[in-house]
Amino acid sequence: MAHDTENLAIFRGLLKFKSNVQKIWGVLIFLSIVTTIEVVLGILKPQSLMSMFLGMKILN
Amino acid sequence: MEVTANSISEETNIWSGGNKPLGSSYGKLMMWFFIVSDALTFTGFLVAYGFSRFKNIDSWPIADEVFTHFPFLHGVDAPMYYVALMTFILIFSSVTMVLAVDAGHHMNKAKVTFYMLLTIIGGAIFVGSQAWEWKNFIKGEYGALETRGGQILQFMDAETGKRVALEAFAANIDSPRTTHENSNGIWFLSETSLPSYSVEEVAAGFAANENLVVKSEKIDELGHKIILSREESLRKVNEAINVVEGANLVHNEYGNRLFADFFFFITGFHGFHVFSGVVINIIIFFNVIMGTYEKRGHYEMVEKVGLYWHFVDLVWVFVFTFFYLV
């Protein structure tokens, strides 16, 4: 199928994947890294991120 | 049915049914229509939740203090860890779903079967975890008093700063009061089961334990619950009219009663969707095993259930964000 080989790159071509399956795992890994950082920040709650910005805490 | 739809779509004349809007098949388009309308329903729930929470922002329970359980870790304070884990499991089941769709494009029956199975297991774990969350929420952990105005008074040890359960301090006052059943009394009156302790027992126990204070449902400017002084606490406890253990649609020990209502409605409605998704996935799974889609020549049905599954997953991301995290 033609659409199998389209759009295998993410971040404007910074990362290119060889197949759809690889891209699926690649995106999962990337989002997992982002999630891990956010979870760690959420557990540690560093003082610098608890200040107010636009009436809201930067880190909830 | 599907076969009929496909034979029609081979028509090339637009006005005879040969038109595929957005290059999408009939079935997929209908799934999109359903998803859009369902998204509006969830939007309604979340917007109503937002309004009510904003209106009661000074007394809204802190989710970190409500969802603290983790299976097999009794007494360990694990705020949100289990909800985060089950969220990850649901997202992972979306990954296996898209892998199944991709395997379907390659007409790989074995892989579609395997990934559908993983998706079903992930969805089932999520629904089971949700049920467990509900069980904990309904059962409650510490218990609280409720004032005439509907405020919830929770109890904590002023020295350790830890919450204290009613059973740890409630006095034992002999009382003849039992649950009224219509079989042994006025037949047209009945009541739900009485809490384990009466208001008098809790108040007496509170007065006897000098280190106990009330944790009010009000929030200070930093977002923490306001803890009353011992004198204020004693005054507040005397205003109490109800003992609340756990949660239902009318009372809940966690604070503002709307919180429990929205918890039940939003997570319940979403859980119902996941349950339906698991059932549909199981049906498609057996169709895959029987070779229905192999014979049909395409695995579009897996794509359609995939659309639904990703949607349910996406909705949970929003529910998780607005109900649990923010």
The residue in chain A having the minimum alpha-carbon distance to the alpha carbon of residue B322 is: A60
Strand spans (E) along chain B: 144-147, 152-157, 212-219, 225-227, 240-244
Provide the domain limits for residue A47: 2-57
User: What is the model's pLDDT at position B1?
Assistant: 40
Enumerate the H helices of B56-108 as residue ranges: 63-66, 81-105
CB contact under 8 A, B105 and A1: yes
B326 shares contact with chain A (CB less than 8 Å)? yes
**What CATH homologous superfamily does B28-139+259-325 map to?**
Cytochrome c oxidase, subunit III, four-helix bundle (1.20.120.80)
Residues sharing a CB contact under 8 Å with residue B160, sequence separation 6 or more, in sequence order:
none
User: What DSSP state is assigned to residue B286?
Assistant: H
Please give the helix or strand (H or E) that residue A15 lies within, else none. Answer: strand A15-16
Sign of the alpha-carbon dihedral angle for B159, B160, B163, B167: negative
The answer to whether residue B301 neighbours chain A at the CB level (below 8 Å) is no
Nearest of B161, B165, B145 to residue B153 by alpha carbon: B145
* CB proximity under 8 Å: A 6-45 to B: 20-21, 24-25, 28, 35, 39, 42
The predicted structure's pLDDT at residue B89:
95
**Quick check: B317 contacting A, CB < 8 Å?**
no
Closest Cβ–Cβ partner in B84, B95, B325 for A24: B95
Contacts of B92 in chain A (CB under 8 A): 28
- What DSSP element (H or E) covers B271? helix B268-290
Query: Do A24 and B102 lie within an 8 Å CB cutoff?
Result: yes
Partner-chain contact A28 B98, CB within 8 Å: no
Domain with CATH 1.20.120.80 in chain B: 28-139+259-325
Give contacts of A39 with chain B, Cβ < 8 Å.
84
Q: What is the pTM of this model?
A: 0.86
The letter for the amino acid at A34 is V
The number of distinct structural domains making up chain A is: 1
Q: What is the pLDDT along chain B (326 residues), one digit of tens a residue?
A: 444 444 444 667 777 766 777 778 888 999 999 999 999 999 999 999 999 999 998 889 998 889 988 998 887 888 889 999 999 999 999 999 999 999 999 999 999 999 999 999 999 999 999 999 999 999 998 999 999 988 999 999 988 888 899 888 888 887 777 777 777 777 888 777 778 888 888 888 898 888 899 999 898 887 888 999 888 899 989 889 989 999 999 999 998 989 999 999 999 999 999 999 999 999 999 999 999 999 999 999 999 999 999 999 999 999 999 999 88
| Spatial separation of the C-alpha atoms in residues B50 and B53, rounded to whole Å | 5
What is the three-class DSSP state of B172? coil
